[in-house]
Amino acid sequence: MIYAMDIISLLRRVLGRFRKDDFVNILQEWKFIDIDDVDVNLKKSAKIDIVYNICEKCRNKSIKVDDVAQLDLIYNQKHSNSKKWTVYKLSRAQDVTYDQVTVEPATFQDKLQQHLSLYFRHDLHTRTKDDELWLRICLHDGSAAQFMPSNVVYMVLHLRSSYIISSNIKVTHKDYILQALLTSLEYTEVKELKLSGKNLSSLTDMVLFQQSQGAFSQYRYNQADQNPLTSGRKVKRKAESPPDVTDKRVFNENNAEKRARLSKTEETFGNNPQPVLEKLTYQLETRFHGDQHMPRIADNTAIIHCTVRFEGKNVLEGIKQLGPSGLANLPLPSHLANAHSFARNSIVLAEKSQHRSTPKKD
The fold of 83-208 is S-adenosylmethionine decarboxylase (3.60.90)
CB 204 within 8 A of CB 159: no
Q: Phi, psi at residue 219, to the nearest 5°?
A: -75, -35
Q: Are strands 132-139 and 304-311 parallel, antiparallel or unpaired?
A: unpaired
Q: What is the pLDDT of residue 271?
A: 85
Same fold, 83-208 and 212-229+253-360: no
Record the pTM: 0.82
Sorted by where each begins, the domain ranges of the chain are 4-78, 83-208, 212-229+253-360
Whether the upstream peptide bond of residue 331 has omega within 30° of 0, thus cis, is yes
Report the sign of the C-alpha dihedral through residues 192, 194, 195, 197, in that order. positive
Q: Phi, psi at residue 133, to the nearest 5°?
A: -115, 115
CATH of domain 212-229+253-360: 3.10.20.720
pLDDT tens digits in sequence order for the chain, 362 residues long:
455 568 999 999 999 999 999 999 999 999 999 999 999 999 899 999 999 999 999 999 999 999 999 999 999 999 999 999 999 999 987 755 555 556 788 899 999 999 999 999 999 999 998 889 999 999 987 554 445 778 899 999 998 889 999 999 999 999 999 999 999 999 999 999 999 999 999 999 999 988 777 767 776 666 666 655 554 444 455 445 555 556 667 666 778 888 898 999 888 898 888 999 999 999 988 877 766 665 666 566 677 888 999 999 999 999 999 988 888 999 999 999 999 889 999 999 887 754 444 555 55
